[in-house]
Amino acid sequence: MNKPQAKQFFELLSEQIKNPTTELKYRNSFELLIAVILSAQATDISVNKVSPSLFKIAPSPEKMLALGEDGIISYIKSIGLFRSKAKNIVNCCTTLIEKFNGEVPNTREDLQQLAGVGRKTANVVLNTAFGEPTIAVDTHIFRVSNRTGLAIGKNVLEVEQKLLKITPKEYLKNAHHLLILHGRYTCKARKPLCQNCVVAKLCEFEAKKLP
């Protein structure tokens, strides 16, 4: 898409999605960080089933560290990769305490020093917790960007860079969640609901279906 089309694309999504934010349950930046780590290769629904109980017992890096891997596992064992996630959470909390006084850092470079935090997770935290205009390209955003023609790329970094260039400044803060929610509920992987899509007229996938 060109920039005028991209602006219309986000205008239409913003009109439909009134509250573009994460569906993960959290109360502060630390809980968001842990929830995002838990969400890797897992659904937000599955994370939300376990995180409130975990956060009630361990609402800080110090208390999470006191739980230890086995203690954390007892709360998160229903979600995928729970053993590696518990190990990452322990190591993450150790670094938070030793390097950042128990506070979640607000730069990508510092966030990526934490166990279990790659570029995507760092971008989510920067955007959702600190209001930075970052776009974390997950499977939903990668699919929507390529399928619609909004930002075509062979890998997540390429898509992220193209999105940052083409997204109008006024939509950069919310673009991440607008695209995720659109991909989660309308532009689905197997059966996209094109008949209900507000951006269908701008979509390359929809255009290809026409005779």
**Could you say which of 120, 169, 188, 191 is catalytic?**
120
Burial code of 88-116, b = ≥16 C-beta within 10 A, e = fewer?
bbbebbebbbeebeeebbeeeeebeebbb
Q: Is there a catalytic annotation at residue 138?
A: yes
User: Do 137 and 162 contact (CB within 8 A), yes or no?
Assistant: no
Residue 46 one-letter amino acid: S
Q: Which amino acid is at 191?
A: K
For 87, residues 6+ apart whose C-beta sits below 8 A from its C-beta are 69, 115
| CA–CA gap between residue 63 and residue 68 (Å, rounded) | 9
Helix axes 119-130, 156-166, angle to 10 degrees: 30
The answer to whether 110 is a known catalytic residue is no
Exactly one of 7, 87, 110, 138 is catalytic; which is it? 138
Cβ neighbours around 168 below 10 Å, total: 15
Cβ–Cβ < 8 Å for 111, 119: no
Cα 130 from Cα 121, distance rounded (Å) = 13
- CA dist 204 and 19 (Å) reads 26
Question: Active-site residues: which are they?
Answer: 120, 138
